[in-house]
């Protein structure tokens, strides 16, 4: 009897007729817009108009500073420069901290840099920067164009306090 229950539906019940599956023809590829995308606006260009103009020395003052600090590309005075540890060693304060504000009216931090030299070649500026960095100073150089030639300013800083830079 158990076999009859199992085989009865297989032998005597007709299966349903199913519809055949019909595949639709493939549709056309969708059109893709391939026009070039414009370059996105950089973060710097969005922020730059909101920043205040950095303070600049008048040309006569800057030219005098460049003339006073212009050196040869040899960098011979670098050897006479004291090590950073001996100059910038923190001294115990006996007077209260300076009342000079650390932030200007535009909300930007006030930092000082010391111009050490002005040289006529990038190689000389890089040599001075490397020598200053080897002595422990935070040094960098910036290029600027004078009327008829290209010069490089070698500077130490930035430093929040002016006094340690004045000791150099």
Judge whether 157 lies within some domain: yes
Judge whether 153 lies within some domain: yes
pLDDT of residue 15: 66
Distance CA 48, CA 39 (A): 18
Judge whether 105 lies within some domain: yes
What is the arithmetic mean of pLDDT over 117-126?
A: 86
Judge whether 119 lies within some domain: yes
Total domains in the chain come to: 1
Helix (H, G, I), strand (E, B) or coil at 51: coil
Judge whether 23 lies within some domain: no
State the residue range of the domain holding 122.
70-88+101-168
Judge whether 24 lies within some domain: no
pLDDT of residue 76: 57
* pLDDT-based confidence at residue 136 (cuts at 50, 70, 90): confident
- Of 104-113, 114-123, 153-162, the poorest mean pLDDT is in 104-113
The CA-based angle 77-80-81, given to 5 degrees, is 95
Distance CA 55, CA 53 (A): 6
Distance CA 90, CA 67 (A): 32
Q: pLDDT digit string (tens) for 32-48?
A: 888 998 887 777 777 77
């Amino acid at each position: 009897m158990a076999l009859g229950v199992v085989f009865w539906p297989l032998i005597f019940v007709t299966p349903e007729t199913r519809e055949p599956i019909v595949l639709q023809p493939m549709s056309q590829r969708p059109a893709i817009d391939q026009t070039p995308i414009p370059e996105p606006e950089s973060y710097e260009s969005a922020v730059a108009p909101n920043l205040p103009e950095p303070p600049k020395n008048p040309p006569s003052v800057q030219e005098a500073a460049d003339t006073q600090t212009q050196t040869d590309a040899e960098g011979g005075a670098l050897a006479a420069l004291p090590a950073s540890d001996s100059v910038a060693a923190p001294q115990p304060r006996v007077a209260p901290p300076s009342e000079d504000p650390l932030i200007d009216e535009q909300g930007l931090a006030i930092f000082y840099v010391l111009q050490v030299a002005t040289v006529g070649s990038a190689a000389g500026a890089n040599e001075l920067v490397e020598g200053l960095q080897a002595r422990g100073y935070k040094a960098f150089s910036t290029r600027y164009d004078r009327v008829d030639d290209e010069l490089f300013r070698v500077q130490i800083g930035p430093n929040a306090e002016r006094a340690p830079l004045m000791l150099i």
